[in-house]
Structure 1
């Protein structure tokens, strides 16, 4: 095993038998390690950690407040997080955690204060989903502090969270879906809306689709990437977060026809734009071929909703609508789960289980028919010799 040994308090970088690299650093008798497929990433991590020590991080939690620790934690994890994730973490820390907990000394933070913090966010009008994301970031950061030996336990572990508010999910009914798709005839994004309602694909997945992902003969559409925009860094294409996110979705003839018409319009748009067209082979690009700006899509989406006379919902609610339609028309949960790209059916049930109430009346009627006894005259049956033959 190849190994690079450094001096005391300088750490080390070694190559493991599986080909991956590992950086290690000893702090207060406790060894901290970082793994990567790249030696360069290990070197960057080690330099950052050593720099943190030079800046006075005592790694005992006695003097370090949460604000300073989170800044160092986020910096140390830059190489392990996706750019958009790192940006979101920084926003959550800046907007939600630091204003309430930033000045608290790390070792003095208690679970009761964390729970009080979540209640304060709720009173301030922060949504339950955002609070849960905030909890996830805080828990992850404190778990690392626990590994560093800065704290004896993670005060965010087991902290009570506000219940999910199902009203945050809006679902269009079948008549509204019909009105929406009719109104979408006037939009250049008609095929995108059609696909969103039919497949429940996420907006980032739809905007990342390329024509090479579509197999016209079999009618199969492969979800292989998402388009991602990070403020200050621009656009990029990333793989789905989970293995289940990489999936093949079967399309019906109606969806394929909508895509054929969309392709014809796109070819015409290319001719109009000429050299100004930036070829990315995207199915749903901007008017010049670059990734479509979600803000522009949102404006058109709201216009279509207004034209259809439907109350405004989020684009993501089309995903919820697709799930609702599939589940309430008897499509098995395991199939819906695969179409939506969930890691397992239990995730689908956890999110959409409450939508099953629409099926309960039909289920009750079916069960009622199954168990309703057939009225017979038992005395007449007993006196009839035909029925007594064995």
Structure 2
């Protein structure tokens, strides 16, 4: 009987066509290679087996981590959104390469990655940034493993503290009303109204164009987002996921607000004259160009101060919109689609703290329904209303016979 080899020991097999396959397994990941001769196969297995403890294969020799990451970034450029790729490049150039770039790829160990993480923590770098940096390094080194350049991923075992839980700031209905009053008459009044009522993202609202509005169906299409990658100009890109492309139903008031904004913009277009740049944006600058996120946030802070409200992020308007819908009984799946989440579970995870209130209402509703025994069969419709929910039950259309009436009025002698 063939002896079962342990993990990391390696095996060789003769293939049906007379060639030899070497195989070695590390931490559940199997790697194999085909050779013409048995001797070549044995040498490959032996070299890999002997070097596992060093965390490398013979395939990687003098390549530095910085050189490897340069090649990895070049390949990633074709498969990632440009803004995402720019972010990867920034993390590599700002954090990884200055500390570890000159080190040989084969010499990189967890202690080196952990040292970089500790150094960044001590310098005050945010945990979110450190996690993203380590994620990029981990992703790059996973490819190096698949390419037989290293055998272990040293960033996998690095320890990063958990990010402290930050309670979500959700404005009250009164606070949002005060904000909208403060924005009354401002050239971007409609922008804040649309953001509050749709829960649209900042990058999405700044990329809206007039053809996205269906004046008949009262819908708003989200087709793109506005990005300004580090060191680059303005770019209109598709939403991050397929679910980001969506159609949001607008209320009558929102449609009227947009009509008034359209008229205001025509006046601005005439006033700008030849300085106007035609991007067909719903919310452009005074000369038609895309608004910079920094300028929008500055305006938002001014309006918050004018309304006497505490400082919050523009993104918190999105949280308000979602929380308002959920607290008023709108199903999670509908809220998820309006927000452009890929899955309803994402909405539940982000706003799960709001659901217990809905559970209370649901419990009271069902409790009232199953315990209510007061029946009026002569009424055409029986209505039960609890906590804003309404249940309609259509009665029998034909009048009840005296026999049926007696049966319904009599209590059972042997209840189950």
What residue is the counterpart of 1:94 in the other structure? Answer: 93
- Show CA shifts across 1:55-90 (max 9, x none): xxx994444443333233223322333322222112
- Show CA shifts across 1:265-301 (max 9, x none): 1000001001111111110111111111111111101
What residue is the counterpart of 1:42 in the other structure? Answer: none
What residue is the counterpart of 1:83 in the other structure? Answer: 82
What residue is the counterpart of 1:191 in the other structure? Answer: 190
What residue is the counterpart of 2:267 in the other structure? Answer: 268
What residue is the counterpart of 2:279 in the other structure? Answer: 280
What residue is the counterpart of 1:144 in the other structure? Answer: 143
Q: Does 1:153 align with 2:148?
A: no
- Rounded Cα–Cα distance in structure 1 between residues aligned with 2:324 and 2:121: 32
> Residues 159, 173 of structure 1: CA spacing in aligned structure 2 closer, same or farther, 3 A cutoff?
farther
- TM-score normalised by the chain length of structure 2: 0.69
> Residues 201, 160 of structure 1: CA spacing in aligned structure 2 closer, same or farther, 3 A cutoff?
farther
**Is the CA contact 1:146–1:153 (under 8 Å) kept in the aligned structure 2?**
yes
- Rounded Cα–Cα distance in structure 2 between residues aligned with 1:338 and 1:284: 23
**Is the CA contact 1:187–1:304 (under 8 Å) kept in the aligned structure 2?**
no
What residue is the counterpart of 2:208 in the other structure? Answer: 209
How far does residue 216 in structure 1 lie from its aligned partner after superposition? Answer: 0.6
- Rounded Cα–Cα distance in structure 1 between residues aligned with 2:62 and 2:331: 55
Q: How many residues get paired?
A: 325
Q: Map residues 52-67 of structure 1 onto 2, 5 A cutoff.
A: 60-67=59-66
How far does residue 244 in structure 1 lie from its aligned partner after superposition? Answer: 0.4
- Rounded Cα–Cα distance in structure 2 between residues aligned with 1:82 and 1:59: 34
What residue is the counterpart of 2:352 in the other structure? Answer: 353
Please say which structure displays the higher CA radius of gyration. 2
- Show CA shifts across 1:329-383 (max 9, x none): 2111111111111111112122222333554665665577679999xxxxxxxxx
- TM-score normalised by the chain length of structure 1: 0.73
Q: Does 1:315 align with 2:321?
A: no
What residue is the counterpart of 2:132 in the other structure? Answer: 133
What residue is the counterpart of 1:107 in the other structure? Answer: 106
Which has the larger displacement, 274-283 or 173-182?
Answer: 173-182
- Rounded Cα–Cα distance in structure 2 between residues aligned with 1:210 and 1:287: 15
- Rounded Cα–Cα distance in structure 2 between residues aligned with 1:110 and 1:333: 45
How far does residue 170 in structure 1 lie from its aligned partner after superposition? Answer: 2.4
> Residues 231, 159 of structure 1: CA spacing in aligned structure 2 closer, same or farther, 3 A cutoff?
closer
- Segments of structure 2 that go 5 or more residues without pairing to the other structure are 1-32, 35-56, 374-409
What residue is the counterpart of 1:48 in the other structure? Answer: none
> Residues 74, 115 of structure 1: CA spacing in aligned structure 2 closer, same or farther, 3 A cutoff?
same
How far does residue 176 in structure 1 lie from its aligned partner after superposition? Answer: 1.4
- Rounded Cα–Cα distance in structure 2 between residues aligned with 1:166 and 1:301: 25
Q: Map residues 161-176 of structure 1 onto 2, 5 A cutoff.
A: 161-167=160-166, 169-176=168-175
**Is the CA contact 1:89–1:137 (under 8 Å) kept in the aligned structure 2?**
yes
Which has the larger displacement, 337-346 or 93-102?
Answer: 93-102
- Rounded Cα–Cα distance in structure 1 between residues aligned with 2:198 and 2:128: 24
How far does residue 136 in structure 1 lie from its aligned partner after superposition? Answer: 2.7
**Is the CA contact 1:118–1:162 (under 8 Å) kept in the aligned structure 2?**
no
How far does residue 214 in structure 1 lie from its aligned partner after superposition? Answer: 0.7
What residue is the counterpart of 2:331 in the other structure? Answer: 332
SS at match of 2:254: helix
SS at match of 2:289: coil
CA RMSD of aligned residues (A): 3.2
How far does residue 387 in structure 1 lie from its aligned partner after superposition? Answer: 6.4
Structure with greater helix percent: 1
What residue is the counterpart of 2:394 in the other structure? Answer: none
